[in-house]
Amino acid sequence: MPCSRRQEQHRAFSCHPAWRQAHLPGSLFAAILERHQHDGALHPVWRNQSKARTSSDEDDAHVLRMDVPGVKADRISVEEKNGEIEITALRMNGEEEVSKVYQEVFYLNPFRFDIDHAKATLTNGVLTLRIPKNEGRVKKVPVETASVPSDLPSNIFQHTLDLPGVPTSTLEVNLVEDRVHLVGKRSLGDKRVLVQRGFEVPPSMDTVQARALLQDGVFTFLAPIHEAEEGQLRTIFVHHKDEDAAIEVDSSAAMADMKITDEEAITDSNTIKEDDMNVETVDEETESKETDSWEQVASEEEKK
């Protein structure tokens, strides 16, 4: 699930070399913020406030729609690094000077989303950013009748549960985002028991190489963890609806001659709209209903 967060060092457009020499932060907006703070007053247009936008989590992608009236595609910057996505849009007046700034920062798990295939479209003053997921919402992990290898690498996530009496043939393991759900069946005399378990997994886990092992009534889940590394700054180009080719933002050329002053900055008076998040839930009990009468056994975590 996405969340909003903002770093102290803002990224937006690369700025003219003269700006870089005058201001240490490598961002035009960081330089402007520093200048306003030095003057003892921060203009409302630069405050950390949400713009009119909606965000939805679909089965195959995360979609964000952001109102940017009066903004051209070549004045929009969409950048991503380590899962943090920053959108900056500049509205220009008739003299090609900045009159308003729209900005949004949010986070998506880079291991769950395909940032390289993200698509940004500008239509009638609305920016739509669609970021596909690497795989479906629910991933089924096949269960193996095998013991845990003794030579596991140090970057392997391992979680063990006791499932006595549950055969491999009746156990289903599903990975739903950052949680593993188990559903199995066992017999106790003349009773048939439905067993359900669940546990959290690290967001940086490699789901493609996940394994589920069951032997002697002991279940083990294994998956490698992606090593933390410094990600590269990636740019998502903005398309016009009626154009086939992407318009690349040449930030150095586009921003070099812009004049930004306190008088030209206009506060955004649009009504702040809350995120409209559509969250799907997995009803394991409904999926596992059969004609037989089952006695459900919940995990210790669910009992609490």
Domain membership flag for residue 61: yes
Cα–Cα–Cα angle for 279, 53, 100, nearest 5°? 160
Whether residues 150 and 215 fall in one domain: yes
Residue 293 and residue 175 share a domain: yes
Q: What is the rounded distance in angstroms from the CA atom of residue 221 to the CA atom of residue 223?
A: 7
Edge-first strand order for the sheet with 53-57 is 53-57, 61-67, 126-132, 119-123, 238-240
Question: Which among 1-5, 19-23, 237-241 has the top mean pLDDT?
Answer: 237-241
133-149: pLDDT as tens digits: 876 667 899 999 999 99
Q: Are strands 138-141 and 172-176 parallel, antiparallel or unpaired?
A: antiparallel
Looking up tokens 């933002």, which residue turns up?
249
One domain for residues 181 and 147: yes
Kindly state the average pLDDT of the residues 244-259. 43
Domain count, the chain: 2
Structural domain boundaries enclosing 49: 17-135+230-255
Residues 6+ apart with CB under 8 A from 63: 55, 56, 128, 129, 130, 131
The answer to pTM > 0.85 is: no
Same domain flag for 187 and 57: no
Give yes or no: residues 116 and 161 share one domain. no
Whether 296 and 174 map to the same domain: the answer is yes
Which DSSP state fits 151?
A: S
Mean pLDDT, the chain, whole residue set: 72
- What are residue 57's DSSP bridge partners? 62
Q: What is the mean pLDDT of residues 55-76?
A: 88
State whether 147 and 203 are in the same domain: yes
SS3 241: coil
Examine the domain organization and report whether 60 and 197 are in the same domain: no
Say if 29 falls within a structural domain: yes
| 160-219 tens-digit pLDDT | 999 999 999 999 999 987 899 999 999 988 899 999 999 999 888 888 889 999 999 999
Judge if 28 and 129 occupy the same domain: yes
- Same-domain check for residues 129 and 23: yes
Same domain for 156 and 105?
A: no
> Degrees (nearest 5) of the Cα angle 109, 115, 119?
130
CATH number of the domain residue 43 falls in: 2.60.40.790
Is residue 248 within 8 A of residue 183, CB to CB? The reply is no
Query: Is the same domain home to 84 and 213?
Result: no
